[in-house]
Amino acid sequence: MVTTDVAVKFTLNGIPMERDVPPNWTLLRFLRDGLGFTGTKCGCEIGECGACTVIFNGEAVNACLVLAPQIDGASIWTIEGVASSGRKLHPIQQAFVECDAVHCGFCSPGMVMSTVALLLHNRIPSNAVLKESLAGNLCRCTGYLQIIEAVRKAAESMDDMHLEKFRR
């Protein structure tokens, strides 16, 4: 069966890129197998667990449900782009560490990306909004209380400038 790759231009973690992607790949597969960005986790692959959450034009989406060619023209942020550079964690990541919100760690990249998306839109989320925004991310270690605490801590302590880059 002949398939033709699709040329796409996009921005990944602030870096402009051009690639040819197979039309039968999802964004999740492209990130992991095409680019070697394995921080975005492959969990259920049916949009239920949120482990593959990335930011797509400023919104949280499941990378397992986006076809790779659909990223043409888009700006995508993954967990690899969250910390600025070197070894210093982003304040959201730091809050996850300080609140013991990381257990086995598999859901953490998705949780962090959902947190980024939430705080981009709502700097002081109510508890209801906070929970609703993380409802699409499952933690099988059930560390939800610590995760919610971490999001709250990040929301309260973080400077706005730490969110600026995700708007681009």
Partner 1 sequence: MISVLEYLRPEKLDDALHIMGGGEHTPAAGGTDLVLQLRDGRPRKILDLERLGLDFIRNAGDIIEIGSLVTHAAIASNPLIAKSLPVLSRASSLVGSLQIRNRGTVGGNIVNASPCADTVPALLLYDAELVLKSSGGTRTVPLSQFVLGPYRTSLGPGEILHSIICRKAEVSTGWSYIKLGRRQAVNISRMTLATSIFMNGDGKIGSVRISAGSVFPTPSRIPRIERMLVGRTPSQELYRQAANIAADMMIKESGHRWSTPYKKPVLINLLTRALTEAQSKLIAGMVS
Ligand X SMILES: Cc1cc2nc3c(=O)[nH]c(=O)nc-3n(C[C@H](O)[C@H](O)[C@H](O)COP(=O)(O)OP(=O)(O)OC[C@H]3O[C@@H](n4cnc5c(N)ncnc54)[C@H](O)[C@@H]3O)c2cc1C
How far is the CA of 166 from the CAs of 42, 47, 163, in angstroms? 22, 23, 6
- Of 18-26, 30-38, 42-50, 125-133, the segment contacting ligand X by CB under 6 A is 42-50
- Of 45-53, 83-91, 103-111, 118-126, the segment contacting ligand X by CB under 6 A is 45-53
Site string for partner 1, 86-125 (x = CB under 8 A): ----------------------------x--x--------
Is residue 148 involved in binding partner 1 (CB under 8 A)?
A: no
User: From the list 5, 48, 100, 156, which residue makes contact with ligand X (rule: CB under 6 A)?
Assistant: 48
Residues in contact with partner 1, total (CB under 8 A)? Answer: 34
Least distance CB 66 / ligand X (angstroms): 10
Q: CB-wise, 26 or 146, nearer to ligand X?
A: 26
151 within 8 A of 123, measured Cβ to Cβ = no
Least distance CB 87 / partner 1 (angstroms): 30
Strands lying side by side in the sheet with 53-56 = 15-21, 6-12, 75-77, 53-56, 59-62
DSSP states of 92-148 as a string?
HHHHHHHTT--SS-SSHHHHHHHHHHHHHH-SS--HHHHHHHHTT---TT--HHHHH
47 within 8 A of 65, measured Cβ to Cβ = yes
Q: Of residues 127-146, which lie at the interface with partner 1 (CB under 8 A)?
A: 131-133, 135-137
